[in-house]
Structure 1
Amino acid sequence: MKNFALIGAAGYIAPRHMRAIKDTGHNLAVAYDTNDSVGIIDSISPHSEFFTEFERFLEYAHQIKRRPEAALDYVAVCSPNYLHHAHIAAGLRLGCDVICEKPLVPTPELLDELVLVERETGKRVFNILQLRHHDAIKQLKIKVAAAPTDTKFDVELTYITSRGRWYAESWKGDPRKAFGVATNIGVHFFDMLHFIFGKLQRNVVHHAGEARAAGFLEYERARVRWFLSIDAGDLPEEVKGKKTTFRNIDISGEKLEFSEGFTELHTTSYHEILADRGYGIEDARHCIETVNVIRTAVPVRGTTGEVHPFVR
């Protein structure tokens, strides 16, 4: 049984990590968050220690290192995006392997810094790239690999996930902390596209704003028009008033259906990490490079065939 710490226990995604730790047969020893709205712990791991000050959490983690049976083995990071780098580095320096949510960090330079900390500590960083474990994604990857090598698929990616006014007041609405809508809600899609279609060859941004972003990506095996939004006003008319989220991936005229099968993907990711088959820093580099370019690019007027229809 491995001992885990969880940083960011009050966040939206934290319960999936808590359940993954429990479902893989391990122990959530301690959790930390500046917010104390963490009652979900009672139904998953009621014995866990909990702190609202990072200094006290860190001191406790150092104290239990004196007892081999209690010492931490892993630190799971679910904190706001802008804190990932600091919390990952702290976990590594505690002598733990670290499991972190997406995006790992905002820039390739910070990835390089984490590589140095890995070398200094002898510990590993793992990124949750759960879409790689989804059955529909794995089947599509096999299909693409089996197609003639000169085939380039035409892909249209649309993801609209409505967010209320609270979003702008939270850290997620602050581009200095969330790094923009393409990074915050899109990074796992960009990782998925690379996983299926290979290396990125072109990256063009057609629109960039606080609520939405769009552009064109050309991979070795695909041409992708993409559109991401948190504005309910962008929902298609047939969806408005019925659903708050619209997700569509069209691949050369065929719709990729993967609306189901998400609930266990974090647990699957933990199983793979604990079996030493997890995705590390270099696996995450491609999507970090992609969103870094998108975030810093100057939008341009696109050509016909490259612009997502929602932009037009």
Structure 2
Amino acid sequence: MVKKQLNTGVIGFGLSGKVFHAPFLHTHPGFNLKKIVERNSTESKNIYPELEVVSDYKNLIKDETLDLIAICTPNTLHFSMVKECLLAGKHVVVEKPFTPTSKEADELIKISEEKERKIFVYHNRRWDGDFLSIKKILKDNLLGDLYEYEVHFDRFTPDLDQNWRDKNIPGGGILYDLGAHLIDQALNLFGYPDKLNSNIQAQRANSPVDDYFKIELEYPNLKVVLTAGMMVKDLGPRFILKGSKGTFTKYGIDPQEDALKKGLMPNTQNWGEEKKKDWGIIDIIIEDEQGNYQIETLPGNYMGFYDNVYDVIINNEKIMVKPEEARNVIKIIELAFKKNITKLQL
């Protein structure tokens, strides 16, 4: 039993609002999905007939019954909308990346502290099954001393899209889009790095924004490689970890996004479970003998993000994605765009 329901509104019903937020707010008993902003349609009403569809986001900001607003808009609108929501006394969920600049993120953090309202940045890939499995592998010290961590987020999309992600605007491009996920995961595992090196390119013909990156983060005795591209037809491993006892290699991607795009709800049976063929392979030395075997991927659980949102607001529990951590993701992106080796300071 939940203590109370949080009345919630969602701004935007594109990929983010439709796939990554509304299904969880609808099925979680702690939230009452009350309103959704759609400027040009009422598509959400077909899925959630009980809610109210409005065309102006200010309707949500002025609604005194709403406790929480989820902002699922293009990156250029994050700063202004989060600010308006905080000043109106609302708690806020905002899609990653937090803001296009770390300066904007710092300002929002300050406002949230002054208004005693929470900002939750949706770094949902912390709840990917493969990432949860890697955290357990490292916690159990199965690989010994880790000296290399490499992760890919590759796709084959040779044609430019017409959406905002492929436009030369603040927060556009692959580094802000997919890179934010990989950077957040790395910082969550290893903290802020000592050095950074980057290679950022626009590989597709006439692309106005970056569509490839390779970032290297350096830590004492550890190299972290984060890379993604839109011109990778034959996908290789997603994760490659190398340690003093052996390696872990993982292909495939968490199944939750695909399930959500098919219209499944996160209370579906066996949610987030991965097929055995996609489980990772660990190759390690066990009692002086080589051992090679599959490790079952832990179920992914994006609902864990909203579990934490509820527990922070209602039960005053610790926030799992601190806004300062999300701000640090933006700092890394800003440094990466300098395209050189930089000594980082907190």
- TM-score norm. by structure 1 comes to 0.79
Matches within 5 A, 1:1-312: 1-25=5-29, 26-36=31-41, 38-43=42-47, 45-53=48-56, 57-59=57-59, 61-62=61-62, 64-65=63-64, 71-145=65-139, 147=141, 151-163=145-157, 165=159, 167=161, 169-209=162-202, 210-220=210-220, 222-231=222-231, 234-236=232-234, 248-252=238-242, 253-256=247-250, 259-260=253-254, 262=256, 264=266, 265-276=301-312, 277-278=318-319, 279-294=321-336, 296-298=337-339
Equivalent residue for 2:275?
none
Residue ranges of structure 1 left out of the alignment (5+ in a row): 66-70, 240-245, 301-312
Change (3 A) 1:143 1:42: same
1:136–1:257 Cα contact (<8 Å) kept? no
Q: Identity across aligned pairs (percent)?
A: 18
Kept in 1: contact 2:61–2:84 (CA 8 A) = no
* Cα distance between partner residues in 2 of 1:281 and 1:164: 34
Segments of 5+ residues of structure 2 without an aligned counterpart are 203-209, 258-265, 267-300, 313-317, 342-346
Q: 1:166 to 1:222 in 2, by over 3 A?
A: same
Higher percent of residues as helix: 1
* Deviation for aligned residue 1:17: 0.8
**Equivalent position SS for 1:185:** helix
Structure 1 residue 183: deviation in Å? 1.3
Stretch deviating more after TM superposition (256-265 or 114-123) = 256-265
2:36–2:44 Cα contact (<8 Å) kept: no
Shift of 1:85: 0.9
1:123-172 deviation line (CA, Å, top 9, x unaligned): 11011222223344234234435549x934212222212336351x2211
Distance 2:195 2:256 in 1: 30
* Rounded Cα–Cα distance in structure 2 between residues aligned with 1:282 and 1:254: 30
Change (3 A) 1:106 1:284: same
- Assess if the C-alpha contact under 8 Å between 1:197 and 1:222 holds in 2: no
Quote the Cα distance in structure 2 between the aligned partners of 1:35 and 1:186: 30
Given that 2:129 and 2:254 are in contact with CA atoms closer than 8 Å, whether structure 1 keeps it comes out as no
Deviation at 1:113, TM superposition (A): 0.4
Confirm or deny: 8 A CA contact 1:30 1:50 kept in the other structure: yes
Aligned CA distance change for structure 1 residues 186 and 176 (closer, same or farther; 3 Å): same
Q: What amino acid is the match of 2:229? A: S
Provide the C-alpha distance between the structure 2 equivalents of 1:256 and 1:152, rounded to a whole number of angstroms.
Answer: 16
Q: Is the 8 A contact 2:69 2:92 kept in 1?
A: yes
Partner of 1:306: none
Distance 2:223 2:92 in 1: 34
Aligned length: 277
Which one-letter code corresponds to 1:47 in the other structure?
E
* CA distance in 2: counterparts of 1:292 and 1:35, whole angstroms: 34
